[in-house]
Amino acid sequence: MQPWFWSWNYSCFELLFRIIPHRRIADRTALLLVHYPILFTFSVAAGFSMLWLRNDERRAERRSYLCKAVIAFVVAVALTLAVRPWITWPSPARNPEFTALFPRYLWGLGTSDSFPSHSTLAYFVIATGFWPLRRDLSTALVILTVIFVSLPRVYLGGHYPVDVVCSVLLGAVALAFVWAWHLPSSLTRWLVAEGRAAKIRNVLLFLWIVELADGFRGTEFVIGVLRHLRG
């Protein structure tokens, strides 16, 4: 199966490689960002932590929005996993229709199913989730997500531009629906509770921050193990 808007994707690659031709330094920089996502993703985790830990009169509201961002992320990823059996195409570096655009040493990179860009989806949703709380921080992190997360994966042939665009649209829709939903009062109270109730919440928060900073590699490992055991 070929990606949606085949000719548009092809034109995007041609334009990108005219602006940033494949050179060893450019390829190595892109590979570095893909293999070590923490070089950028720690900033999103730091922003989440900063907003969560701030203690003022808006603490409950702030934590509610951060919780909604996490929920939107889970919903969006679940939707992509549900549609994957029906929407699938190989990454550009594995697709004979696109490999001529890339240096031979990049052929075979990516996966047999590149739709959508889950990395873009994850960090776009979280960064955009900061919008009601800190618009400047949200805008900066969304732009940086495109530059340091999406662009390297497209540049190396791991994703098509349409994979990134669909991830952004899906993330925006998920956030819009979740923002319109009012959290149960019991959950809102739990988000700001102290004492025993805070222990489980703090453990979950710690695990989330670590995964957010590490590019969800722990989650990918667990999913891979479960798939192996199931198969």
Instruction: Spell out the domain ranges in the chain.
Output: 35-230
Predicted local distance difference test score (pLDDT) of residue 84:
81
Please write the tens of the pLDDT for every residue from 176-213.
999 999 999 999 999 998 887 788 888 989 999 999 99
Predicted local distance difference test score (pLDDT) of residue 196:
77
Instruction: Kindly list the averaged pLDDT for each block of 10 residues, start to end, along the chain of length 231.
Output: 94 97 95 93 95 92 96 93 88 96 94 92 96 96 97 97 97 96 91 84 90 82 63 58
Tokens 């004492």, located at residue = 195
Q: For residues 173 and 41, give the distance between their C-alpha atoms in angstroms, rounded to a whole number.
A: 22
149, 39 Cβ separation under 8 angstroms: no
Residue 56 backbone phi and psi in degrees, to 5: -150, -165
Q: For residues 87 and 78, give the distance between their C-alpha atoms in angstroms, rounded to a whole number.
A: 14
Distances (CA, A) of 103 to 109, 155, 219: 11, 11, 32
Predicted local distance difference test score (pLDDT) of residue 74:
93
Distances (CA, A) of 216 to 121, 122, 157, 195, 212: 12, 9, 21, 29, 6
Question: Which two three-digit tokens encode residue 149?
Answer: 């997360």
Predicted local distance difference test score (pLDDT) of residue 152:
97
Predicted local distance difference test score (pLDDT) of residue 176:
95
Its CATH class, for the domain covering 35-230, is mainly alpha
Predicted local distance difference test score (pLDDT) of residue 225:
61
